[in-house]
Each structure stands twice: as C-alpha cells, then as structure tokens.
C-alpha cells in the first residue's frame, strides 16, 4: 500500500494510491498516524484528491543515526562507530514533498543534504530482538536530513545544526513494509539542480535497519508513528574535495528505489 497526505481546502487528508489516483481514506480528519494504528482505515476510500502534498505525518519522535554508511565514513575520514550513533530531530522539522524550506542566512551558510531511508514504526517496540525488529515497521519513506554544518560542527551537541524549521523533509509517499521487501537492498540517490551528488545502496549501511530498530528500542520505547532515519551515504556537500552547500533557489531531489522522489526547494533569507 502506498499512502500520502494531500493538502485540501478542508485541511490535510490521508490518501491511498489506487488505479484512479489518490483517494481519501477514512473519515475526514483521519491522519497517517491513525492509519499506522489501524491499517483497516484504508478499506474506507472516498473521493479522488488532487492537490499538493501536506506533511506526511507528525511523529512523536524522530531518531536519526549518524555515520551509518561505510562510504560516508570513508569520505569524512572519521572512525567507523562501534554502535549506532543516535541523535534526535524535532517533529517541528518535518516538511512536505515540494515544500520551500526557508534557511535563515544570518544563522547558517553551510546547509547540506542527506538522503536517508526512513522507517516508520507501526507497533510499540521495547527491547525487541533483531530477528523480530522489522515486524514492528509499518513502512518506509524518503527522508532528507538537512543539516546546517557550521552549527552542527561548532558544538558537541547537534540540536541546532539538525533542527532548524523544515529540516526533515519526508515523503512523497509512505510505502508499507510488505511492498518494500528487503530494506537493505535499495538504491538511493540525491540530485541538486539535476546533478547527481549521492548515489549508493542501503547495503552500505554499517548497522542494518533491523539492528537499528532493535538498538533504539533497547534505549527508548518506540511508538507507532515514530520515525528512524537510518543514515546517509557518501556525497554530502560538506565533505566533497571542494565543499559545496545549498543556496537560494536550489532544488534537492532525494530518490529511493520502490518509494519515490522527495523534492525540496531552498530559500535563503
């Protein structure tokens, strides 16, 4: 099942992909979090919706993982972690596919892109073993862990550099886990203004999606709708031989095989 959230005159509406296009799911007011809690809401389909995307969902928690791709570790010159490196992004960072993300130029000049496979939790998970971890994943979407590198690298805590408004685009769709299959065998790519800057596969992860779900659940209770950003591969602008960062009018497109392409427009003010 492929789902999204559509902006309408009456507010955001949950939608499910059908042969006719995107159709409203559940009664008015139904959200993606409602669907995660009760997938049968997708059985109640309404009219076709045609409009821009709204934020996909408002998770209670966004747990992100740093330095989780072997090729990214190599480009940074840092040591590979011996355990997943967890940090948090606030729910207020979530922005929709096609959104213009406004960057405060007085605060940061080194905004970077990071394509990431985002796992959306479907069942409460606490201390789950690795071999059962993926049973707790409802589905997957594309994430872009936008990062203000000048803020991030100036401090030991990454809160400022990772949590500016809109700095966690998610979308364009949430695809249920049964349609994705093996999350460790997906191509992922980023382009900036049409130029490929990241091109890798999820098999480059140091810690698999299942290992991340298990590890995170050992430290915090994962609840339905929580999001785990599983890390980014090589090609971040900060670590290029000639560092490159996002500027006013740049269009970032993050694509993951089987899910789709998440587009974000940068506006600097």
Sequence spans of domains, the chain: 2-48, 62-268
Does the structure show a pLDDT above 90 at 177? Answer: yes
The pLDDT value recorded for residue 4 is 98
Residues 104-150 have pLDDT tens digits of 999 999 999 999 999 999 999 999 999 999 999 999 999 999 999 99
Does the structure show a pLDDT above 90 at 77? Answer: no
Residues 214-249 have pLDDT tens digits of 999 999 999 999 999 999 999 999 999 999 999 999
The pLDDT value recorded for residue 68 is 96
Name the DSSP class of 133: H
Please determine, looking at this structure, whether the domain spanning 62-268 carries the CATH number 3.90.850.10.
Answer: yes
Which contacts (CB < 8 Å, 24+ apart) does range 161-164 have? 161/108, 162/64, 162/87, 162/88, 162/89, 162/93, 163/89, 163/90, 163/92, 163/93, 164/93, 164/103, 164/104, 164/107, 164/108
Question: Which residues, other chains included, contact 116 with Cβ-Cβ below 8 Å and sequence gap of 6+?
Answer: 64, 142, 143, 144, 145, 188, 229, 230, 231, 232, 254
Averaged over 43-55, what is the pLDDT?
95
The pLDDT value recorded for residue 75 is 86
Percent of the chain with pLDDT over 70: 100
How confident is residue 51, by pLDDT bands cut at 50, 70 and 90? very high
Taking phi over 0 as left and psi of -120 to 50 as alpha, with beta for the rest, 26 belongs to left
128: Cα within 13 Å, side-chain hemisphere = 25
The pLDDT value recorded for residue 76 is 85
């Amino acid at each position: 099942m492929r789902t999204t959230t559509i902006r309408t005159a009456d507010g955001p509406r949950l939608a499910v992909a059908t042969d006719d296009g995107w159709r409203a799911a559940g009664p008015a007011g139904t959200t993606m979090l409602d669907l995660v809690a009760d997938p049968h809401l997708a059985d109640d389909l309404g009219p076709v919706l045609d409009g821009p995307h709204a934020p996909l969902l408002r998770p209670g928690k966004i747990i992100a993982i740093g330095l989780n791709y072997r090729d990214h570790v190599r480009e940074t010159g840092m040591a590979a972690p011996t355990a997943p490196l967890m940090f948090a992004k606030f729910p207020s960072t979530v922005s929709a596919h096609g959104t213009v993300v406004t960057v405060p130029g007085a605060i940061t000049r080194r905004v970077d892109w990071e394509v990431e496979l985002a796992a959306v939790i479907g069942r409460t998970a606490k201390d789950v073993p690795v071999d059962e971890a993926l049973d707790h994943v409802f589905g997957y979407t594309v994430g872009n862990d936008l990062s203000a590198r000048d803020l991030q690298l100036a401090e030991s805590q990454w809160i400022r550099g990772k949590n500016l408004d809109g700095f966690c685009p998610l979308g364009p769709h949430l695809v249920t886990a049964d349609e994705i299959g093996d999350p460790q065998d997906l191509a992922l790519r980023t382009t900036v203004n049409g130029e490929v800057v990241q091109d890798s596969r999820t098999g480059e992860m140091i810690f698999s999606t299942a290992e991340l779900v298990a590890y995170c659940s050992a430290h915090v209770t994962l609840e339905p709708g929580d999001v785990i950003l599983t890390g980014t591969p090589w090609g971040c602008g900060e670590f290029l031989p000639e560092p490159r960062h996002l500027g006013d009018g740049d269009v970032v497109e993050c694509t993951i095989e089987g899910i789709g392409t998440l587009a974000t427009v940068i506006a600097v003010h």
